[in-house]
Structure 1
Amino acid sequence: MYRFLLSRQWVILTLVALLLIPTMIRLGIWQMHRYELRTARNQLVTEALTAKPVPVETLTSPGNTVTNTERYRTVTAKGRFDTADEVVVRRRTNSDDEVGYHVLTPFVLTDGKVLLVNRGWIASDGPSQTAFPKIPAPPRGEITVSGRLMPDETTAASGIKNLKGLPDRQVMLINSAQEARRLDARVLGGYIAQTAPEPKGDVPELVGNDPGSEDAALNYAYAIQWWLFSAAVPVGWVVLVRRELRDRRAAAAEKETSQNEPATV
């Protein structure tokens, strides 16, 4: 009665089931890996956000690469803003998904080094984004700024192309090495997203105060779901085999009954 399993239809069905089981198991493992990565990242972000503020030069220096454990750390710096060499970063959005600029202002420390400060978001003056926008001035003189330490932006990490031939004083990426060449100065690695002092009138609009957290629990649920699917495949195959066997036995019994019935006189 099980010879039907050698038919073309059942051979194909069995092969598909055998392929689905390891595929679903691997998908579950992949989702669990994503869960572990997101959980670890959320832990790093939480630790960074709750850490006490430290002077910026304790975490970065010229040519330094900001690490994942240093990202989002609150740092402080004492110096003055250099608005003469200020640039804007194109194609950045605010909390309402409006396209504008980020204002990137060099901050000259008391020892002469330069810290790049993202002072926040401003709207563009027009759709072409060719003219340098009007930017509210930062506080004058020597002040202390605070912000979240961020790594240099790269095309590989952000997906943003570093276009050439841009309008004057406009850039695509916030990159300390690039700005060091432009300014001919010792620029600290990375940059900070300013959190204090807050601008008057909320312009520029501060960015990066809360990086948020990724929903790792969703990946955990997906992993369990894929593994349940992989377990359901052999169970479903057995159910289909038993149903086919039952139908074939019923058909055989019906045929035998019809053959044993006496002929009508």
Structure 2
Amino acid sequence: MYRFLLSRQWVILTLVALLLIPAMIWLGFWQLDRHEQRVARNDLIAASLAAPPVPMAELSPADGEVDPDDRYRPVTATGVYDTGHQVVVRQRTNDDGAMGYYVLTPLIQADGTAALVNRGWVPAGNDVTRVPEVAEPPGGEVTVTGRLMADETTGTTGIRERSGLPDGMVMMISSQERAEALGAPVLGGYLELTGTEPAPADADAQPEMLPEPDHTGIGAHFAYAVQWWLFAAGVPVGWALLLRREVQDRRKAAARARRDEANGDGGGNGDDAEAAGRRPADAAPATS
């Protein structure tokens, strides 16, 4: 009865089912891992944002890198803005999804070390080959407060470096690249501005400050993980249902074949007898 399992159709179907089960289980664990990463990121952001501000130099050494665990920490820096080495960072969107630039301005501290300050977002002009007009930062010595961010890379932004950019434009924020342009040491990473003391007189004209990163949403990764595991569990169930239906169909076909065979062996004699039985008993023979 079950020899049909060795047919080409059923062998392929079984192999596909055996491949789908581990693949779906792996996809479920992959989604679970993404869920755990999102939860860990949210916890990191929440803890970092709640920490008291510290000088940026305490967490970011000159010509060094920002510890991933220190991202989003409130930091401060005091110095004078160097607008001569200010650049804008291309292909950045604001909260409404509008395309524009980040404004990156070095803040020169008393010891000569620079801290990169992302002053915020400005809209793109009609001509993307020209640096847009940007309001001047406050003059003189200021103290800035913001979130500590790590240098950007192609892996973290998905943006590729480009050659031939207009002067004053960059694709990504890199403290090492800015240190080479300045010819002076630069603290690793950058400060994402949230406040300035004293406040600029033309506050409304300044670049649009970036919003606090979302640390509440966890996405649907956990639901996707459960969904993949349910799919994996459903594969053998579906295979078993198909097997059951195939067996039932074959049994019905075999029973129908036996009935047809039985009817074929005695069917002719039975018809003759039935016809004879229907002939009138008092029918008179024909006379010539």
| TM-score with structure 2 setting the length | 0.85
Q: Which residue in 1 is equivalent to 2:71?
A: 71
1:205-253 deviation digits (Å, cap 9, x = unpaired): 112x312148545111111111111111111111111111111112222
What residue in structure 2 maps to residue 149 of structure 1?
Answer: 148
CA distance in 2: counterparts of 1:11 and 1:188, whole angstroms:
63
1:163 deviates by: 2.4
Distance 1:3 1:184, change over 3 A: same
One-letter amino acid of the counterpart of residue 208, structure 2: E
Deviations 1:59-106 (A, max 9, x none): 112112112211111111122212222222222222222222211111
Shift of 1:125: 3.4
- 1:187 is displaced (CA, Å) by 0.8
Aligned equivalents of 1:253 and 1:135: distance in 2?
87
The amino acid that maps onto 1:176 is S
Q: In the alignment, what sits opposite 1:194?
A: 193
Moved more, 155-164 or 239-248: 155-164
The 1:131–1:245 alpha-carbon spacing in structure 2 relative to 1, beyond 3 Å, is closer
Letter in 2 for 1:146: T
Note the C-alpha offset of 1:202: 5.2
Distance 1:30 1:114, change over 3 A: same
Residues 162/12 of structure 1: CA separation in 2 closer, same or farther (3 Å cut): closer
- Cα separation, partners in 2 of 1:255 and 1:132, compared to 1, 3 Å: closer
- Name the counterpart of 1:105: 105
Q: Which residue of 1 aligns with 2:168?
A: 169
Paired residue total: 263
**1:9–1:108 CA distance, 2 compared to 1 (3 A):** same
**Is 1:205 aligned to residue 205 of structure 2?**
no
What residue is the counterpart of 1:120 in the other structure? 120
Equivalent position of 1:221 in the other structure = 223
SS of corresponding position for 1:79: strand
- Equivalent pair of 1:155/1:161 in contact (CA under 8 Å): yes
Does residue 92 in structure 1 map to residue 92 in structure 2?
yes
SS at match of 2:159: coil
Structure 2 residue matching 1:228: 3-state secondary structure: helix
Per-residue displacement from partner, 1:98-149 (whole Å, max 9, x unpaired)?
222211111111222110101111123322x233332211222222110111
Corresponding residue of 2:239:
237
Answering whether residue 259 of structure 2 is matched by residue 257 of structure 1, we say yes
Distance verdict in 2 for CA 1:164–1:253, change over 3 Å: closer
Amino acid at match of 1:73: R
Aligned partners of 1:156 and 1:260: how far apart in 2? 75
Extract unaligned runs of 5+ from structure 2.
Answer: 273-288
Equivalent-residue separation in structure 2 for 1:21 and 1:168 (angstroms): 55
Matched residue type, 2:227: Q
Give ranges in structure 1 of 5+ residues lacking alignment. none
Given that 1:48 and 1:74 are in contact with CA atoms closer than 8 Å, whether structure 2 keeps it comes out as yes
Whole-angstrom distance in 2 between the partners of 1:69 and 1:36 = 16
Same amino acid, percent of matched pairs:
52
Bigger drift between 94-103 and 230-239 goes to 94-103
The CA distance in 1 between the partners of 2:19 and 2:8, in whole Å, is: 17
Q: Are 2:137 and 2:206, in contact at CA under 8 Å, matched by a contact in 1? A: no
Counterpart Cα distance in 1 of 2:95 and 2:24: 38
CA–CA separation in structure 1 for the residues paired with 2:216 and 2:148 = 19
Could you say what secondary structure the match of 1:43 adopts? Answer: helix
Which 4+ runs in 1 deviate beyond 4 A? none
CA–CA separation in structure 2 for the residues paired with 1:240 and 1:183 = 71
